């Protein structure tokens, strides 16, 4: 990989994939702390759904995981988890779409919000829809894992939308069959072709207009807004911003100041302010963004009362939290929680 490419160090990637690797390691009885050595990250960091990392950090962790667990279909394991775990807010946005076509359009537009490490494009004919993967930074060692994870997660969310009997027409992969090649057939339940000229997953075009029982216009709008906010601020974020965000996430209850953060980073407050200014960022804006992300996660993924969520974010009064949340998002906290309830009700009713 081009080590001087700025895109390698931009922290634009949510940690869903890396968290999946950590969960798999724990399920195998392994302790994966060594995978994070020298990256300025901890396991606790990547288990926060609002965390962002760089491609360089993600690639290093995946490479170490592959070497620690050779000959395992790691990408298939990670990608075939519960779709809402794999996709995060993007999963809610897709499931709350009106039909499969809108869900796929949403997934393609906001795929970065799922922690995707590949780029996707769709090609449509009268009978087939082809999803083609492109490597962001070519790396033969990582390619099988990256393709497995994306294609397995797409199939997982398709089956959540339409039922477990849904399968692709075929899967085409540009690399030779791995030792665990039979696992592809078991998961995808369709012809799988290795040594192809591209990486593709092909679906019947007839599925695209199938309506979704989980559709909710309100939930869709809320989830899209969350996806937008997740990926847009990250467009220029570099390592120093990521470090500040990670420290803030771990200590929101204490409401750390810029001086506190600078001390933890072993630099002066003046130096930190200069770094933030060079990156076009303000400390207060970063803190607000981290607090909003944490608030959204707690509203969506937990059943904590609003009062407790306010305490988690360092507010002494729930009313102050509600005012701050409305300032951040333009909506009340209860609207986020209601959108989650609408989507879950639709999944249960299907």
Domain ranges of the chain: 6-209, 238-349
Domain 238-349 belongs to what topology? Arc Repressor Mutant, subunit A (1.10.10)
pTM of the model: 0.69
Structure tokens at 115: 């922690």
Separation between Cα atoms, residue 166 and residue 203, nearest integer Å: 10
Mean pLDDT of 69-73: 91
Give yes or no for residue 234 having a pLDDT over 50: no
End-to-end CA, the chain: 45
Separation between Cα atoms, residue 261 and residue 192, nearest integer Å: 50
- pLDDT band of residue 343 (cuts 50, 70, 90) is low
pLDDT, tens digit, 9 for 90 and up, residues 182-211: 999 999 999 999 999 999 999 999 999 999
Separation between Cα atoms, residue 70 and residue 228, nearest integer Å: 36
Query: Are 6-209 and 238-349 equal in CATH topology?
Result: no
Give yes or no for residue 339 having a pLDDT over 70: no
Separation between Cα atoms, residue 265 and residue 269, nearest integer Å: 10
Query: Kind and range of the H or E element at 122?
Result: strand 118-124
DSSP characters over 48-60: STT-EEEHHHHHH
Question: Which of 144, 108, 98, 113 has the alpha carbon at shortest distance from 129?
Answer: 108
In CATH, what number does 6-209 get? Answer: 3.90.1520
Count the Cβ atoms, other than its own, within 10 Å of residue 108. 13
Residue at token pair 């803030």: 248
Question: Which of 153, 146, 43, 132 has the alpha carbon at shortest distance from 87?
Answer: 153
- The mean pLDDT of the chain is 87
Give yes or no for residue 1 having a pLDDT over 50: no
C-alpha distances (whole Å) from 233 to each of 46, 139, 279, 286 are: 18, 27, 12, 9
User: Which of 176-190, 217-231, 281-295, 331-345 has maximum average pLDDT?
Assistant: 176-190
Residues 6+ apart with CB under 8 A from 92: 84, 219, 223, 226, 300, 339, 340, 343
Give yes or no for residue 285 having a pLDDT over 60: yes
The whole-number pLDDT of residue 117 equals 92
Structure tokens at 181: 């090649």
Give yes or no for residue 350 having a pLDDT over 70: no
Angle between helices 100-109 and 143-162 in degrees, nearest 10: 150
Give the pairing type, strands 52-54 and 199-204.
unpaired
Give yes or no for residue 345 having a pLDDT over 80: no
Separation between Cα atoms, residue 58 and residue 62, nearest integer Å: 6
Separation between Cα atoms, residue 180 and residue 152, nearest integer Å: 15
């Amino acid at each position: 990989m081009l080590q001087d490419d700025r895109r390698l160090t931009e922290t634009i990637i949510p940690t869903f994939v890396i968290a999946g690797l950590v969960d798999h390691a724990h399920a195998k009885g392994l302790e994966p702390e060594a995978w994070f050595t020298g990256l300025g990250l901890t396991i606790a960091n990547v288990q926060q759904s609002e965390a962002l990392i760089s491609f360089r950090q993600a690639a290093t962790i995946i490479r170490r995981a592959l070497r620690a667990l050779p000959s395992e279909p790691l990408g298939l394991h990670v990608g075939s988890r519960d779709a809402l775990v794999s996709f995060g807010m993007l999963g809610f946005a897709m499931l709350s779409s009106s039909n499969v076509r809108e869900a796929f359009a949403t997934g393609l537009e906001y795929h970065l919000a799922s922690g995707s490490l590949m780029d996707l494009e769709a090609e449509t004919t009268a009978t087939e829809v082809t999803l083609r993967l492109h490597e962001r930074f070519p790396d033969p060692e990582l390619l099988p894992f990256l393709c497995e994870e994306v294609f397995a997660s797409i199939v997982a969310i398709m089956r959540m939308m339409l039922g477990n009997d849904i399968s692709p027409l075929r899967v085409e992969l540009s690399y030779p069959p791995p030792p665990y090649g039979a696992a592809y057939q078991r998961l995808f339940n369709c012809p799988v072709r290795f040594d192809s000229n591209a990486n593709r997953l092909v679906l019947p075009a007839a599925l695209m207009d199938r309506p979704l029982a989980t559709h909710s216009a309100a939930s869709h709008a809320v989830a899209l807004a969350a996806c937008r906010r997740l990926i847009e601020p990250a467009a220029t974020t570099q390592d120093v911003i990521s470090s500040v965000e990670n420290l803030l996430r771990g200590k929101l209850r204490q409401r750390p100041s810029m001086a506190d953060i600078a001390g933890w980073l072993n630099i002066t407050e003046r130096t930190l302010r200069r770094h933030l200014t060079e990156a076009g960022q303000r400390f207060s804006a970063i803190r607000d963004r981290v607090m909003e992300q944490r608030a959204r996660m707690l509203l969506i993924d937990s059943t904590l009362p609003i009062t407790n969520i306010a305490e988690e974010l360092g507010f002494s009064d729930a009313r102050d939290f509600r005012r701050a949340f409305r300032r951040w998002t333009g909506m009340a906290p209860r609207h986020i929680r209601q959108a989650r309830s609408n989507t879950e009700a639709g999944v249960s009713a299907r």
